[in-house]
Amino acid sequence: MDYLLTDEQKMLRDMAAKFTANEITPVAAEMEKAGRFPHDILKKAGELGLMGITLPEEYGGGGMDSVGYMLAMEEIGKGLASLVLIMSTHISLAAGSIHKFGTDEQKQKYLPDLCSGKKVGSFSLTEAGAGSDAAGLKTRAERRGDTYLINGTKQFCTLDPDCDNVIILFALTEPELKTKGISAFIIDKSMPGWRVGKKEHKLGIRTATTSELIFEDCEVPAANLLGEENQGFKYAMIALDSGRIGIATQALAVAKASIEAATEYAKNREQFGKPIAALQAIQWMIADMNTEYDASWLLTYRAALMKDQGLRFSREAAMAKLKASETASFCADAAIQIHGGYGYTEDFPVERYYRDARITRIYEGTSEIQRLVIALNSMK
């Protein structure tokens, strides 16, 4: 798809590909098996400017567009899909929300450290009773003078307790208003009253540590209210539009890695006296994988391009995320089929791709929610 890209976008993509080959691919399988958070890799990514790709240069960001971000994340995700989740959350949801809705003081305080990778950003919306239905939120934030006291428990937050974390947290400030009474806050380690609870043991993306967060009279300065009070739900939906481009890109990375692994294996694996790549059954699977991947890539590219042009892209981001996530599962499944019994073992990476693909149809909006977003936006 190079004919669609600028020279600057190609350079960023190639730099990310080199970084992946040197720093990620050699350790990916071991890190994922151990479920170890990639502290060293994130630090090196920060040194290269990859932790603030789309943020303005005045804060230490790369000043790149969303298409460049998409290209870099895909290359990184081909090495380890977990990293795209961590970096997409960090860049699009956390740092991106502060840049879009924060005060000048908040931007100056948090964005330079986020862009450098010194701090790692997280996004905390989900609760036990509030997944797809944000109206089920129970976490409360009560104003006490110049402080908010926050109480509640959050789930499925991509966060490692050993990092210097910056969390975009959503809590009810006026519960009777439901979604219209949700506010957003910037939480950091300096604030007493919050801790990391249970760590989830997951099917895939194990390097991206997923934990619950527990807030017990957590004292948050009023200066850390993000944007206006009771506007948090709107901010979350805007952030998730951008986040869905990141998750679509993660899915593209899994799909592309599956295609590359399956193609290489088919060329070298012999059955019936010839490489299985010569068999029509295998060729058709590879043809379908590539077709689905290209369609997903173009949908994601369109969403990123529309964002860069300042156009409304909720519908397009949902389409990209829906299609790419289903393509990732399709390609990973086909890659295992092409590998045969070996594909079901840990000796080959396709079993990891299969596990990593599945979550992309769930987080940042399930496939069912994406269809709802697409339908509602298509009927306006």
- Active-site residue list: 364
Place of tokens 């760590």: 199
Q: And the tokens for 376?
A: 């509602």
User: Which helix (DSSP H) or strand (DSSP E) does residue 148 occupy?
Assistant: strand 147-158
Rg of the Cα atoms in the chain: 21
Helix axes 232-268, 280-308, angle to 10 degrees: 150
Helix (H, G, I), strand (E, B) or coil at 310: coil
Picking from 316, 312, 279, the residue whose alpha carbon sits closest to that of residue 301 is 316
Residues in the chain: 380
Q: Give me the DSSP letters along 230-271.
A: T-HHHHHHHHHHHHHHHHHHHHHHHHHHHHHHHHHHHHH-EE
State the virtual CA torsion across 125, 130, 135, 137 in degrees, nearest 10.
-60
Per-residue DSSP letters for 151-209? Answer: EEEEEEEE--TTS-EEEEEEEESSGGGGGGGEEEEEEETTSTTEEEEEEP--SS-TTS-
